[in-house]
Structure 1
Amino acid sequence: MSLYESVRAVASASGSGPLDWDAAVDAAKEATPPGRLDLTPEMEAAYASDVRDARERVREVSGVHFAVPKTLEIQNRHHWMEANVPTFRRAFEPLEGQEVALPGVSNTVNTGTMAVALAFIARHVLGQYDPLLLADGDEHDLYFVHPNIVKAADTLDVDFQRFRRWIAFHEVTHAAEFGAAPWLSDFLGDRMRAGVSDLADAKVAKDAFRDLNVAMTAVEGYAELLMDEAFDDDYDDLRRKLDERRNRTNVSSLVGRLLGFQLKQKQYERGRAFFDDVVDARGIEAAARVWDGPDYLPTDAELDNPDAWLARIPRE
């Protein structure tokens, strides 16, 4: 799960006023078992091998040259929180200086909201490649939350090694996208900060968050397209079972709905439908044109009308 949507959801829900980050993290950790990291050297090597294989295969099918981290971090749930909280803090800076009528109440609500969000995401995130959302100076920008991958494979009744490899391929497709579009991180970051700033000024952050949603729909849809082409095994069963897992989460958890799990599913489906139509019309090379620049991203309307996007994008 990307944190872009999560930042949006928590910012919208938490209102105004300061937030006690240390208390939020402590509460989230108290509510969340870290999970076991009983990794053998062979298991660590297998994660790295999956990433290398995915990089070569995605490069081959996409025609995009991109780098992936020379190192990757295999985390437990508490590690994931610690790695991502600095980014949440930067994203929420526009809210920090606000004056509120009931600062004590606001602080409590905001801190509690963040604690619940961190705990929920940390229990569900499987892998992460989100360059913007990492701590400054952190050399690790490809994360795998091992206890969640083990648990998900067991819950879905699928082979762990095959499932782990599939997650690695999915995260490497995101590396390909950011490699093909050097502007993408700044674009997403600007829109996210604009949305949070509008909320801080008591404005409706509709435009910024709409742009963010459209861009993330393209990101997830293109990743799905590359996965179909790159993964070295049929994975219909994995996709079906993971979709069922998401749907169960959405139905059973109010927190899941608030944090955008339903939105995430719609992004996969809507983005993939858009790119399927583009590929049918012009081939997979045309699909990569979305990364030529921000103006090449589809609009919200064009996501549902790929012909309109194709009509304004010149052929190479």
Structure 2
Amino acid sequence: MVDWNLAVATATRLVRPGPEVSRDEARAVVAELRRHAKASEGHVRGFTRLGTDDAHDTPVLVVDRPGWVRANVAGFREILKPLLDKMQERRGSTPGGTVLGAVGGKVTGVELGMLLSFLSSRVLGQYETFAPASRDLPAGGPPDSPTGGGRLLLVAPNIVHVERELDVEPHDFRLWVCLHEETHRTQFTAVPWLRDHLEGEIQSFLAETDVDPMTVLERIREAAQSLVGGRPEAEEGDGGRSFVELVQTPAQREILGRLTAVMSLLEGHADFVMDGVGPDVVPTVSEIREKFQQRRARGASRLDIALRKLLGLDAKLRQYRDGERFVRAVVDEVGMDGFNRVWTSPNTLPTKAEIAKPADWVARVHGRPES
């Protein structure tokens, strides 16, 4: 169904070259990012009051853009396997299914590679938890361990590119990025059930995918009509949805609402921690934050803005803002220890509505009336 090797080859061929640096400069950047990642552990743990010894065993991998692509292809391959197996079985029972599958797999591989090449120059770091351990992707433990077999990825050329584009102090910016990504590593290593919960939600989302091509085409047709205003009964607010959202089933939208709330929490928490720790260890944090927010908001080009809308990446930008606002409001109301009750179980995670109204989460989890 997907030619994964072709996806990697396509992305690697199309990926933009990184900034020009000498070999010595590259080595220095890698070494500094490793030092900052290590130092960030103590800063993040002290501020969040979360911690586990498993974090020490979780590898920090400083990668280039093709390395990021390979890690994400490995993760996609693992998380999508149940859905692709189901689609392969469905296709294999139709006349000519094998031939169509071989051709379709290459087409999909090229398309995925093109998408990853676009994204590979935009990601500064990532906590990757779904890909199985391999020589290129060592993990902190077996997949059923509390770490979930995860690893922290720092994309060195992208970090250097952005620090130059923003014209900020490089050493401060690198530590600032590491604080954000280390928060994600702490979230997953200190909350053992988080990885399995996310994987379960993703698998539930994928299980709702209709593998009938005609049904998918009909949904795409309806989505296209709604985007151009051709469907009179279009739901209110459809104009604000991405094309990806519009081709989902109602059940998928419900699951996506829960996933959006979790991702808003994780991203907002990381931004909150980054800003909370920053003033003590990053002298130029105010300048970095202001310039980085401006960069997030404006996008790189008209094409970049169009692709962000198509892929739903604008929603991710909202997650940072809405999630950070939720975390800040809850910490202001009940303190850090009170906020940390969010990590007790899936039942204490905020809903999408609670992300927008933090007082509702406080009332539900802490039993306090809304102020």
Matched ranges for 1:239-258 at <5 A: 239-246=289-296, 247-249=298-300, 251-253=302-304, 254-258=306-310
Q: Distance in 2 between matches of 1:108 and 1:177?
A: 37
Name the SS of the counterpart of 1:283 in structure 2. Answer: helix
Matched, 1:159 2:166: no
Describe the shift of the 1:119–1:42 C-alpha distance in structure 2 as closer, same or farther (beyond 3 A). closer
Equivalent AA in structure 1 for residue 126 of structure 2: Q
Please report how far the alpha carbon of residue 173 of structure 1 lies from its aligned counterpart in structure 2 after TM superposition.
0.9
Preserved contact between residue 195 and residue 209 of structure 1 (Cα < 8 Å): yes
Match of 1:229 in 2: 276
Describe the shift of the 1:255–1:84 C-alpha distance in structure 2 as closer, same or farther (beyond 3 A). same
Matched, 1:184 2:226: no
Please report how far the alpha carbon of residue 269 of structure 1 lies from its aligned counterpart in structure 2 after TM superposition.
0.6
The TM-score with structure 2 as length reference comes to 0.73
Q: Distance in 2 between matches of 1:39 and 1:171?
A: 25
Match of 1:77 in 2: 65
Among 242, 264, 267, the alignment partner of 1:217 is: 264
Q: Distance in 2 between matches of 1:95 and 1:39?
A: 44
Match of 2:138 in 1: 139
Q: Distance in 2 between matches of 1:258 and 1:301?
A: 24
Q: Distance in 1 between matches of 2:62 and 2:312?
A: 25
Please report how far the alpha carbon of residue 77 of structure 1 lies from its aligned counterpart in structure 2 after TM superposition.
0.8
Match of 1:305 in 2: 357
Equivalent AA in structure 2 for residue 252 of structure 1: L
Please report how far the alpha carbon of residue 167 of structure 1 lies from its aligned counterpart in structure 2 after TM superposition.
0.9
Please report how far the alpha carbon of residue 314 of structure 1 lies from its aligned counterpart in structure 2 after TM superposition.
3.1
Unmatched 5+ residue regions in structure 2? 140-150, 213-247
Name the SS of the counterpart of 1:74 in structure 2. Answer: strand
Equivalent AA in structure 2 for residue 314 of structure 1: H
Preserved contact between residue 264 and residue 320 of structure 2 (Cα < 8 Å): yes
Q: Distance in 2 between matches of 1:71 and 1:103?
A: 37
Preserved contact between residue 183 and residue 270 of structure 2 (Cα < 8 Å): yes
Among 97, 109, 112, the alignment partner of 1:111 is: 109
Matched ranges for 1:276-315 at <5 A: 276-314=328-366
Q: Distance in 2 between matches of 1:45 and 1:87?
A: 26
Residues 91-128 of structure 1: per-residue CA shift (max 9 Å, x gap): 22213414288657744552332112110111111111
Q: Distance in 2 between matches of 1:192 and 1:250?
A: 31
Unmatched 5+ residue regions in structure 1? 1-17
Please report how far the alpha carbon of residue 34 of structure 1 lies from its aligned counterpart in structure 2 after TM superposition.
5.5
Name the SS of the counterpart of 1:313 in structure 2. Answer: helix
Q: Distance in 1 between matches of 2:301 and 2:205?
A: 24
Q: Distance in 2 between matches of 1:307 and 1:275?
A: 11
Preserved contact between residue 95 and residue 200 of structure 1 (Cα < 8 Å): no
Name the SS of the counterpart of 2:10 in structure 1. Answer: helix
Equivalent AA in structure 2 for residue 26 of structure 1: A
Describe the shift of the 1:250–1:208 C-alpha distance in structure 2 as closer, same or farther (beyond 3 A). farther
Matched, 1:31 2:14: yes
Aligned residues: 298
State percent identity of aligned pairs. Answer: 30
Using the TM superposition, name which of 249-258 and 137-146 deviates more: 249-258
Please report how far the alpha carbon of residue 252 of structure 1 lies from its aligned counterpart in structure 2 after TM superposition.
3.4
Equivalent AA in structure 2 for residue 165 of structure 1: L
Please report how far the alpha carbon of residue 139 of structure 1 lies from its aligned counterpart in structure 2 after TM superposition.
2.1
Match of 2:123 in 1: 125
Equivalent AA in structure 2 for residue 82 of structure 1: R
